[in-house]
């Protein structure tokens, strides 16, 4: 009996350790882009881009995006040119064989915050900031997980000792994360007047990152709906033709 009790206690201990290692499951959120008819909220996308640019871009890259892609979230050509021009792009070589710096263009990829991985680690106490291009696809839980991590910074529970330079996060695997809280209430003054709570900023930037991971999501869904409608109509036509052809056969 004692062995059984010990075995059960050991299993419970392993279960608790596994849960701590994985992190708590973040609560499900409602996303406008979910489901077969889901679409991106353009206002949320633009606010999310603002949050990314002002709160995330100093450490995290989105290597798969070009500035011209911002047309997909509602920006006009002149706006895109102005946004791209704020970036400094290394180009060349010139006629003298030297590299030079110039203002960004819509045809450029989003500029990386660090020149290479070693520079990124050196600027973040050894931690490597992840590229956010596909983060909502690459993480189990998708947008809900990313939202959970952004909003999951809480007071360290009693009895928990954090390693040096780490922060406690309820939804991050192991609960210890090197990234300090990236979002602060009213930390990003929204240009459309929306109240910039931490939750709102997280919702908006996750919407932007979900779009960044699949800019063609809406076109794909529209094509899928058209294909389904075509198949339904074609099925009706084929059934009617079958009834006509076999009408005289008993």
The residues with which 169 forms a beta bridge, in sequence order, are 153
Is pLDDT at 246 greater than 70 in this prediction? yes
d(CA 185, CA 17): 33
Measured N-to-C along each axis, helices 42-51 and 198-213 cross at an angle, to the nearest 10 degrees, of 100
pLDDT tens sequence across 12-57: 443 444 444 566 889 999 999 999 999 999 999 999 999 999 999 9
Strand duo 100-103 + 88-91: pairing: antiparallel
pLDDT of residue 65: 96
For tokens 């909502």, name the residue: 136
The CA–CA distances, whole Å, from 239 to 177, 226, 232, 243, 250 equal: 60, 20, 11, 6, 17
pLDDT tens sequence across 169-207: 999 999 999 999 999 999 999 989 999 999 999 999 999
pLDDT of residue 233: 95
pLDDT of residue 8: 36
pLDDT of residue 21: 52
pLDDT of residue 31: 96
pLDDT of residue 126: 86
Length of the chain: 250
pLDDT tens sequence across 87-129: 999 888 888 888 899 999 999 999 999 989 999 999 888 889 9
* H or E element, residue 3: helix 2-22
pLDDT tens sequence across 230-241: 999 999 999 999
Question: What pTM, to 2 d.p., does this model score?
Answer: 0.84
Strand duo 176-177 + 100-103: pairing: unpaired
């Amino acid at each position: 009996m004692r062995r059984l009790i010990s075995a059960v206690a050991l299993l419970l201990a392993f279960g608790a350790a596994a849960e701590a290692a994985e992190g708590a499951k973040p609560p499900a959120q409602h996303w406008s882009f979910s489901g077969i008819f889901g679409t991106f909220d353009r206002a949320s996308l633009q606010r999310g881009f603002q949050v990314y640019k002002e709160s995330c871009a100093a450490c995290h890259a989105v290597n798969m995006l070009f500035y011209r892609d911002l047309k997909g979230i509602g920006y006009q050509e002149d706006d895109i040119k102005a946004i791209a021009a704020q970036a400094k792009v290394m180009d060349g070589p010139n006629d003298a064989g030297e590299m030079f710096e110039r203002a960004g263009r819509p045809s450029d990829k989003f500029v990386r915050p660090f020149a290479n991985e070693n520079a990124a680690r050196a600027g973040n106490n050894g931690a490597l900031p992840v590229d956010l291009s596909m983060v909502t696809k690459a993480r189990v839980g998708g947008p809900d997980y990313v939202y959970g991590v952004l909003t999951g910074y809480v007071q360290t529970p009693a009895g928990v000792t954090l390693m040096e330079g780490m922060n406690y996060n309820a939804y991050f695997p192991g609960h210890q994360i090197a990234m300090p809280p990236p979002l602060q209430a009213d930390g990003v003054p929204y240009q459309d007047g929306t109240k910039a709570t931490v939750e709102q900023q997280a919702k908006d930037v996750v919407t932007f990152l979900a779009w960044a991971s699949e800019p063609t999501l809406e076109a794909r869904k529209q094509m899928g709906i058209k294909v389904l409608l075509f198949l339904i109509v074609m099925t009706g036509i084929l059934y009617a033709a079958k009834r006509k052809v076999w009408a005289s056969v008993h």
